[in-house]
Every structure is written in structure tokens, then in C-alpha cells.
Amino acid sequence: MIQAVASRPRGRPREFDEERVLSRAIALFSASGYSATGISDLQQATGLTAGSLYKAYLDKEGIFAKALERYIARREAEVSAMIKGAENARASIAALLGLYARLSQGKEGKLGCLLVAGVAELPQFSRVGDALRGQLAQRRDLLAGLVAQGQADGSITTASDPATVADVLLALLQGMRVLGKASAFSDDADAFVALALKVLE
């Protein structure tokens, strides 16, 4: 869980649209990375003064922490809805692979993933590291659970340990985002997903 980064007097609303500010911070950190992003860059992207940013988030890491929290919440809501609508566990994993494949192509792929951007600079953080590691662990646990569920419902035929299969799938998911950042991911996302699903057989 990401630690609180700043305290404000209760009952006093912020004088800016935080959703807009965090959306712009997410885009900036994803595109440029944490170290290369300065407060002046965040000022320009968000339209807020340095004083307003420091008052609301304490420091640059505090801004990143809130941006990461919002980024994770959005992605988890999307993943949760996708899994609920899937026919079985194999279909859930296929949908998840398909989502990451789409996110790794074109403009979205080149923008990059905030989680990957953060993990690449773990030594730079004093507070956010646990949240980054925790999100990777949470995704691995989700995948392991789906593999076990699929083995039980018959949609997944591999006899391999669910945790081991989850590690492979996690590497595929995050690897797609890394390749997408470099505009090096496959143009044929469907073929990639079909081949990736072989790990479930």
C-alpha cells in the first residue's frame, strides 16, 4: 500500500481538478521516466505552480505515488471487469494477454507503462518501492489463481505448478509493455496471444 504523502486540513477541498492533474502526471512519468521528470515539467504538464504541487503532494515522489495509485486503480478496474465477463479461466487469461498486447502497440505502447517505468528506477524511491513490488506480486497472484481455476474447470490442461506458469505469464505481460515502449512489439497481436496461450497446454 502506498503511504500517505501529505496532510491537509480537513474540510478544505483542493482548488484543482485532481483527476486531470494525475492523468497528466501519469502520462509524463510514463513517457519520460521518474528521474528525467522535474518539478518544472510537472508544472508545465499540470498547470499548477511548484508551491501547489508541494502543498498537495509533499515532493516529486509524492506526486508519483498518487499517480501510481490512480494508475493501478484504473487498470485493476479494467482487468476485474474483463475477468468477470470471461467464459472460463483460460478465456480470462486470453483477455488479459489481449489487453496488454493492445496497450503495447501504437501510441499507447510508445507512451509506456507507469508500473514498468517505476520498476526500472526502484533505487530512486524511498517510499514507492513497496507499492511497485506489491502490484507485481498482486498480478502474479491473480494469474496463479486463474491457472489453478482453469486446471480445475478443465479449460487449462497444463499440469505445471500454477505459480510457475504465473511467472511465465507475468514476464510476457510486462515484457510486452517494455517492447511497446521501444515500438518493437509485434504488429500481429492475435498471433502473439495465440502462441502465448500455448503455455497453458
Give the C-alpha separation, 18 to 107, whole Å: 24
Give the C-alpha separation, 188 to 15, whole Å: 45
Count how many domains the chain has. 1
Q: What is the pTM of this model?
A: 0.90
Give me the CATH number covering residue 180: 1.10.357.10
Is residue 42 in some structural domain?
no
Maximum alpha-carbon separation in the chain: 57
Is residue 40 in some structural domain?
no
193 or 5, greater pLDDT: 193
Give the C-alpha separation, 22 to 41, whole Å: 13
DSSP state of 128: S
Average pLDDT value for residue range 126-144: 98
Residue 121 domain boundaries? 67-200
pLDDT tens sequence across 83-99: 999 999 999 999 999 99
Assigned C-alpha cell, 139: 498480478
